[in-house]
Chain A
Amino acid sequence: MDEVYRLNYQGLEDLELLAKIGDQDRDALSTLYDRYGRRVFALAVRILNDPVGSEEVTQDVFMSVWRRGATYTTKKGKFTTWLFSIAHNRTIDELRKRRRDRSRLNDNIEDHYDLKSGDISPADAAVAQSEYAKIRAAMEGLPEEQKNVVELSYFKGLTQTEIAEKTGQPLGTVKTRMRLALKKLRKALSAEMGAQV
């Protein structure tokens, strides 16, 4: 019975699950976690380089979805945009906090996890690998300066001003490069991947 119930949830769209979360449906959140938990966790690990800290971040992200799911509207963009935005902001906050107090040392990620395999099924891994390869290719196609500002901001958590200081570029140039990089990335991938992420 429980298995049938779960299978039915897996057939629901993100927004339908979100509506159920608004009704305090825990199975809906469980389904969303199964769908996106790996990506949220991976993003946190990529930025923090700390699996333990990434667990805390991932837990916070899905608790935010649980508490704020009812406030989501399509005005905030696609559901994945909203979710990854929460995940990224939470992770960057943690990264900046760590930079400030330097109280925690990053662990060696390889000591805890096998990042290549984990619990991901071979089919999921293949799909993910395919998407990853396309996006990495698109990233590699960006001019070096644009790729650099994206790396420093999105994955290293530097602010626009910090990037300008680090690279010696005017702040306006940094802003323009960020915008152009995102636009080129989207253009390069929209044809191959469609609107779905």
Chain B
Amino acid sequence: MTDSRDTTETNDGMDPRFENLAGYVLGALENDDERDFVEALIESDSEAHAEFTELAEAADLLAVAVPPVAPPVRLKSAIMDQIAREAAPMPIRSTVEVAPTPSSTPFWAAIIRSGFASSAVAAVLVIVVAGVLGYQNNQLGNEVDSLRAELNAESAVVANIQNELMATVSESETKVASMKTEMETMETEVGVTTEMVVHQEEMVSKLAIENAALQQAMAEQRWLNYVAMREEYQVTSWLASTQQTTSGSVIDASGLIAVRYVGNEAVFQAHGLAQPQPDFAYTLWLLGNGAPQPVASFEVSEIGSATVAFLLPAPFQFYSSVAVTQERVDRVGDDPTGITFLSADTN
């Protein structure tokens, strides 16, 4: 009783190329192509040859395991007869002139019996027979050489096919590697593009905020005009920017001064001013009526706006111009010394 559970029935350690060797020695392959492939492998690979030898010797044992059976005697006779027929020399015409004999005796026997057989004739006969045997040997040798040549040619074809397959596999692997690299490059480019898009979106958002601030400022300006009229103020000056950006365009900043019809109260309102430098503040000057007069010092909001109420030292029409400069906080003197950001004539 055998245990049918064979725990060693796994394919561990077997070279996949050798998977058909056992089938080959057991005669269980499907077709000539598989057999040719295995034979070429055995011929060209020493490991495969060693594995084949081991398995084939085991297959021998299967043949030996069959109890011997005596074949009929006639079988050996049949084989030996067939060999004799195949080994029979081809008829070759002798070059020695021999007198024809009426009997069916072979010509060489007739020569010997005729009494004319000389040593020379015997020598020629030996040469002819030797020639026939040599011819047969040559023929067999040629057949063997032909078979070997065919085998070599088939082995070469198989080797070529193997080489072509390996080349194809190698080419495919190279292509896959190249595609992987391209995909990685594309992923990197997509990443960069995504960053750019995000940056542009941030810029658009920032511009939208600034645009909203500007629109608000304009609305406030209109509102201030309205308020000025409602509150009995009159806008007396529109101040424009005098500064330029690094690209040469005028900075988009503006301002106005509204003066009350009665009394000396006035209001200054500005938009688009940048935050002053550290330790500096904007100063509003009234000019053209004697010494310049700083009437207000102010800061700006986050969006660059400022609204300042101040008292006119003299009627507004006495002044020829107004200006906004940046002055040091601790050094506001009698004359403007800092950079002028807004200015306007009062006329």
Q: Chain A residues in contact with chain B, CB under 8 A?
A: 23-24, 26, 29-30, 33-34, 37-39, 41-43, 45-46, 54-55, 58-59, 62-63, 66-68, 70-71, 75, 77-78, 80-81, 84-85, 87-89, 92, 113, 115, 117-120, 124-125, 128-129, 131-132, 135-136, 138-147, 150, 153-155, 157-161, 163, 172-173, 175-183, 185-186, 189, 193, 195, 197
Contacts and interface: CB of A to CB of B under 8 A. Distances in A.
A42 B23 contact: no
B22 A179 contact: yes
Given A26-B80, A26-B87, A180-B6, A154 B72 contact: no
B9 A41 contact: no
B71 interface: yes
For the complex, would chain A's binding face be called helix, strand, loop or mixed by DSSP majority? Answer: helix
Interface stretch (B51-59, B270-278, B317-325): B51-59
14 contacts: A33-B79, A38-B71, A43-B66, A142-B2, A144-B2, A145-B6, A150-B62, A159-B23, A175-B20, A176-B10, A178-B26, A182-B54, A183-B55, A185-B62
B25 A177 contact: no
Contacts of B29: 159-160
B97 interface: no
Contacts of A153: 23, 26-28
Contacts of B140: 24, 70
A125 B160 CA distance: 51
Contacts of A132: 64-67
Given A24-B87, A78-B60, A30 B71 contact: no
Contacts of B64: 39, 131-132, 135, 197
B53 A42 contact: no
Nearest to B52: A77
A63 B87 CA distance: 12
A63 to B, nearest CB: 6
Nearest to A197: B60
For the complex, would chain B's binding face be called helix, strand, loop or mixed by DSSP majority? Answer: helix
Contacts, number: 214
B14 interface: yes
Contacts of B22: 175, 178-179, 181-182
Contact of A55 (B4, B75, B83): B75
Interface of B: 2-6, 8-11, 14, 18-23, 25-30, 43, 49, 52-73, 75-76, 78-80, 82-84, 86-87, 136-137, 140, 144, 147-148
Given A119-B70, A143-B9, 14 more contacts: A26-B87, A30-B80, A37-B75, A43-B66, A59-B78, A88-B27, A128-B68, A136-B65, A139-B65, A143-B3, A153-B26, A154-B28, A160-B29, A180-B8
A4 B146 CA distance: 37
A189 B61 CA distance: 9
B65 A135 contact: yes
Given A84-B59, A119-B70, A159 B79 contact: no
B23 A81 contact: no
Given A43-B63, A176-B11, A182 B69 contact: no
Nearest to B54: A186
B26 to A, nearest CB: 4
A125 to B, nearest CB: 8
Contacts of A92: 27
Nearest to A145: B4
B58 A46 contact: no
A23 B144 CA distance: 13
A186 B23 contact: no
Given A26-B84, A59-B79, A175-B19, A182 B58 contact: yes
A160 B28 contact: yes
A84 B65 CA distance: 12
A55 B71 contact: yes
Contacts of B63: 39, 43, 84, 87-88, 197
Nearest to A30: B80
Contacts of B61: 135, 138, 185-186, 189, 193, 197
Contact of A179 (B55, B57, B73): B55
Contacts of B68: 38-39, 42, 118, 120, 124-125, 128
A188 B262 CA distance: 130
A20 B61 CA distance: 27
A24 to B, nearest CB: 6
Given A38-B69, A120-B70, A129-B67, A77 B57 contact: yes
A63 B79 contact: yes
A174 to B, nearest CB: 8
A114 B25 CA distance: 30
A60 B26 CA distance: 20
Contact of B27 (A62, A89, A139, A146): A89
Nearest to A85: B56
What 9 A-B pairs come out closest when comparing CB atoms? A118-B70, A186-B58, A178-B22, A135-B65, A182-B58, A153-B28, A119-B70, A143-B6, A42-B69
